Amino acid sequence: MENKQGYDPSEFEDDDYTTPQPDAGKSIRGYRIVIIILSVILAALSVLYFSIHRQQMLDNELLQADRDSIQNDLGRLMTDYDGLRISNDSISAGLTLERERADSLMTRLKKERSWNLAKIKQYEKEVGTLRTIMKGYVKQIDSLNTLNKKLIKENVGFRKEISSAKLRADMAEEKAAELDNKVKVGSVLRARDIRLSALNDRSKPVSRVKNAARLRVDFVLAANELATPGNKAVYVRITSPDGYVLTTEAMPTFEFEGERLSYSAMREVDYYQNQDLEVGIYYNSTGFAAGTYQIQLYCEGRLIGQTQVVMK
């Protein structure tokens, strides 16, 4: 059918041209709205995530601070336990047990990896229990100390009463000890008039010591009222001019001031109180040399006399 204006509409049709549809524009606007909404939601979620993350970090910091606080408090408590010292066996055993519990709790604290508010409360409760127990022990110790102070105060009076008597007793004991020491010193035997003689094998004196077959030491044990009478062992040490102590092949010894000394000869004598006693002790040998001889006499662990004799 031809157009009344005299043209054919089909002449203006273009195969590549498509007339826009009203529904397509609506779809694009819908997508944009959805994208905007999703973007808003994503932004909100991001803000919420960072907010929650930050809160968690703050919570962890608070938990860490609480943990450090509990650990420090427990450390101070352990130090307090270490500072408590008492001689009472029962209380001392209890303190040792509670100190071991504190050590165990500190070990658990250091090994703990998962922290939350419930565990913080639990540890705070355990530390508080240990603190309460320690306060109880401190109170008991204070009570014992107070009692001890009271007893000490009461004893002061008794000490004052006996101090003068004790002082008198000490003075008497000191005087008795001094007197006893004087008696011991005074009771020591003394040898006087010490002589050395050279003799032949028939015990006759010889003029030259090189010709002697024996030596005789003569001396007098002086009378001493304080000395105990009875048998006395007297040891003589004869030192030759070359500095050697003359002795026998057996090399006998006696004790003197904690040491063992060799001697030349020994004799037991019957000492009577208040009487001088003349004594002679023989030493048998040969090959004596001329010169100065040292003579020392010992009895009852003491040096009772000594002298020097020149022998020709």
Residue 239: pLDDT band (50, 70, 90) is very high
Q: Give which of 204, 190, 218 is closest to 278, Cα–Cα.
A: 218
Q: Residue 129, Cβ neighbours under 10 Å: how many?
A: 13
**Average pLDDT over the chain, rounded to whole?**
77
Predicted local distance difference test score (pLDDT) of residue 155: 67
Evaluated on CA atoms 281, 285, 286, 291, the torsion sign reads negative
Predicted local distance difference test score (pLDDT) of residue 63: 64
Q: Evaluate if residue 276 carries a pLDDT over 90.
A: no
Tokens of 50: 């960072």
Q: Residue 97, Cβ neighbours under 10 Å: how many?
A: 11
- Would you state the torsion angle of the CA atoms of residues 261, 263, 268, 269, taken in this order, to the nearest 10 degrees? -100
Q: Please, where are the H alpha helices in the chain?
A: 22-83, 89-111, 117-186
What's the mean pLDDT in 105-134? 76
Q: Evaluate if residue 55 carries a pLDDT over 70.
A: no
Q: How many whole angstroms separate alpha carbon 34 and alpha carbon 201? A: 149
Q: How many whole angstroms separate alpha carbon 253 and alpha carbon 17? A: 147
Q: Evaluate if residue 232 carries a pLDDT over 60.
A: yes
Q: What is the pLDDT of residues 67-103, one digit of tens each?
A: 677 767 677 767 766 666 565 566 667 667 777 777 7
Q: Evaluate if residue 1 carries a pLDDT over 60.
A: no
Higher per-residue pLDDT: 226 or 254: 254
